[in-house]
Amino acid sequence: MTKSSSELDMERKRFRPEIEGLRIVAALLVAVYHIWMQRVSGGVDVFFVVSGFLITASLLSKVRKDGTVNFFDFILGLAKRLFPAAFTVLFTVIIVSYFILPETQWMQTIKEVFASILYLENWQLAISNTDYLDQSNAKSPVQHFWAMSIQGQFYIIWFFIIMLALWISRKLRGEIKKTLFIILTALTVVSFGFSVYLTEVNQPFAYFDTRTRVWEFALGGLLFLFITKIKLPYWMSGMVGWFGLAALVSCGVLLDVGGQFPGYVALWPVLAAILILAAGENPTRFGVEKFLGSGPMRKLGGYSYGLYLWHWPIVAFYYVVMETRDIPVLHGILIILVSFGLSWIVTNVVEKPIRSIKGIKNYRPKVATVLVMMALPAVIANTAWVGSLQNNVAESTTDSAQDFPGAMAVENDIDITYDADTPLLPRPANLDGDVADTYEIGCHHEDGQKELPVCEYGDLEDPKYEVILVGGSHVVPWLGTLQTFAQEEEIKIYNITKISCRFNGEGVGEEMSPDCLEWNQMAKEKVIELDADLIIVNTDVGDGSVPEVEPERVDLYRELEKHDVEIFGIRNNPRPLFDMNICANPENVDHEDCVIPAEEYVPQPSKWSRVENKPGNVTEYDYSEYFCPDGSCPAIIGKTIVYFDGFHMSNSYAESMGPIVREDLMEKLESLER
């Protein structure tokens, strides 16, 4: 029986040697840009296109041979290729992190390792508001697993897409290729449009969102469907291929790949990869496919996966051990060579023996057992690590105020000498969980939420006073301060907050969330409706890049004055321009990089005091001296860590501010009664 052209096209699943070379080029680009430029190269996008091309070829080939694809065989096949190296790296990272990383990075790393094990690291980073390119943030040694996670999710998605195309084509008695073309085209258009949109409104989130990357895989799949139809003239094929390689290599230099990705700018590396693959289908004597498909490049390409997995943990550990992010050329070359060496060992000693398991009795359960055994060490080690931290939570949160005075060390002029053995509150490893109650129970307004969440704390039975805590993430920690005395003083606290949003009427400012304006309107109306004794707000932005109080904020407070709303304004805490948690170590208290001049971060007079014609309903309280005593703003005060994430006040330090704020707040509340 004569085969149709579509069937013949589907049989074109064959070894493409230039793909191996393209993989190593992409992996080297990622490593080089990470090591020396601390930028994004576009190499990951090449991996996505190639993955779309190859998995589409593989699945269609199975459909042609067997009429369907067995899901369990498909998953086991993927797992045999992906798990051995991935779980070896993760287990190694856990062990090395325990001994090398500062405790302030432990919980972040634990969370990301679990997310990486489940192939959900991209969503972990997106939800935790990670900016992949923000060099001021501490980088976990598994952050690069975001790309592997998207790829793993994509493989599962693609199985169901192929099955859907097969089902539809059989129902309509058509060809699967045509059905798949329609599905992949629709995915490309929708995903690319969404990618452009989300990159504009929330680029850090878009960077990790699986939905913004599907179009890259889909284009790879579409290329496979039509690559045999692409006929390039001999002279053009050579030019196209080399142009594609040149475009790929120069992408990260010529474009702001990170700050604008993965929107329309991602077309650059994606199209570069497509040009290279298209040229490979039309080989020439001196074409790029000859270089990429050469013996050395194919050999190196076999270790590209391992190079990608190993290079980043080594870089992350280098940053910590060497206390710098500037990697000399020689050190960077050594990192790449060591990564290749580790990739060679894992590939040949661990991966190849597992991949060679086939054709034996009880194949599936035996392979599944081996893969589970590969994953267990990482799972057990990470679980044990988090368990050891949880055992110390009570110890780090129940000690007396005398042992950890915090802000009261400034108030009472307590002199404390620090050394490596000085205990801190909280324990650095538990720092990222030392936050206000509102983070735990979801009292913050979320983007897209139609109703305004209002949480209540303190004396809820028969309060004498009512106050409203309203604003963004910098006002949230003061809840812990108020809770230290709310019951005794018979105060009911309403919490109305939204992260990444300022209570200034218009929601203006860089990095404000999309729904910030809407939340401002709802919050203002709720404040007026509740008619509390006081509202507690920040009077300014702690960031020095905003030198004056926004006019919108002043207008809002003036509008609230018309409704007899009294305002207890707190000057925002200083916001350092780097992650202060690297200084949350008693040994680093006096380190030159941790001695931040107060005049730079909390200049006097305050921004609010410089406002002309201030509304009469606002009283500002400046607690800068408790953040920046003696002319500097340390990360540790009174054996208490000041910031839980670098620039937001920790709950422990907020609670230590209780006696100080209590006196001011009660005086203000009592004055309103008279």
pLDDT band with cut points at 50, 70 and 90 for residue 394? very low
For residues 417 and 337, the model is more confident at 337
As a residue count, the chain comes to 674
Residues 14-31 as b or e (16 or more Cβ within 10 Å = b): eebbbbbbbbbbbbbbbb
- Is residue 267 within 8 Å of residue 244, measured between CB atoms? no
Query: How far, in Å, CA of 425 to CA of 642, rounded?
Result: 9
pLDDT band with cut points at 50, 70 and 90 for residue 256? low
Query: How far, in Å, CA of 140 to CA of 316, rounded?
Result: 7
pLDDT band with cut points at 50, 70 and 90 for residue 436? very high
Query: Where is average pLDDT lowest: 79-93, 347-361, 562-576?
Result: 347-361
pLDDT at 426: 87
Q: For residue 309, count other CB atoms closer than 10 A to its CB.
A: 26
Is the full-model pTM beyond 0.85? Answer: no
Q: Look up residue 392 and give its two tokens.
A: 């110390």
- Is residue 623 within 8 Å of residue 408, measured between CB atoms? no
Query: How far, in Å, CA of 58 to CA of 167, rounded?
Result: 18
- In sequence order, what are the beta bridge partners of 467? 493, 534
pLDDT at 130: 60
- Is residue 467 within 8 Å of residue 492, measured between CB atoms? yes
- Is residue 232 within 8 Å of residue 224, measured between CB atoms? no
> Nearest to residue 105, comparing CAs of 313, 291, 354, 395?
313
> For residue 398, what are the CA distances in angstroms to 402, 557, 642, 659?
12, 39, 17, 18
Query: How far, in Å, CA of 283 to CA of 168, rounded?
Result: 36
User: Could you tell me where in the chain the CATH 3.40.50.1110 domains are found?
Assistant: 408-673
> Nearest to residue 325, comparing CAs of 312, 310, 315, 335?
315
pLDDT in tens, 510-560: 777 778 999 999 999 999 999 999 999 999 988 777 889 999 999 999 999
Q: Report DSSP state, residue 632.
A: B
pLDDT in tens, 401-427: 568 999 999 999 998 888 878 888 888
In the chain, DSSP finds a helix count (H) and a strand count (E) of: 28, 8
pLDDT at 480: 96
pLDDT at 8: 43
Query: How far, in Å, CA of 369 to CA of 297, rounded?
Result: 34
pLDDT in tens, 38-53: 777 889 999 999 999 9
Which amino acid, 177? K
> For residue 638, what are the CA distances in angstroms to 406, 407, 593, 603?
4, 6, 20, 23
> Nearest to residue 624, comparing CAs of 639, 646, 644, 607?
607
Q: For the CA atoms of 415, 419, 422, 426, what is the dihedral angle to 10 degrees?
A: 90
pLDDT in tens, 117-130: 999 999 999 887 66
pLDDT at 137: 57
Rounded to 5 degrees, what angle do the CA atoms 560, 563, 567 make? 45
Q: Residue range 467-487: average pLDDT?
A: 96
Query: How far, in Å, CA of 265 to CA of 426, rounded?
Result: 43
Rounded to 5 degrees, what angle do the CA atoms 446, 448, 451 make? 75
> For residue 117, what are the CA distances in angstroms to 73, 113, 252?
20, 6, 29
Query: Where is average pLDDT lowest: 46-60, 341-355, 571-585?
Result: 571-585
| Cβ partners under 8 Å of residue 288, min gap 6 | 18, 238, 241, 242, 244, 245, 276, 279, 280
Q: Look up residue 225 and give its two tokens.
A: 């469907």
Residue showing tokens 């108030």: 411
For 589-623, give the DSSP string: TT-GGG--BHHHHS-SS-TGGG-TT--TTEEEE--
pLDDT in tens, 182-192: 999 999 999 99
Q: What does the H/E/C string look like for 291-348?
A: HHCCHHHHHHHCCHHHHHHHHHHHHHHHHHHHCCCCCCHHHHHHHHHHHHHHHHHHHH
Selected from 3.40.605.10, 3.90.1150.10, 3.40.50.720, 3.40.50.1110, the CATH number assigned to the domain covering 408-673 reads: 3.40.50.1110
pLDDT at 334: 97
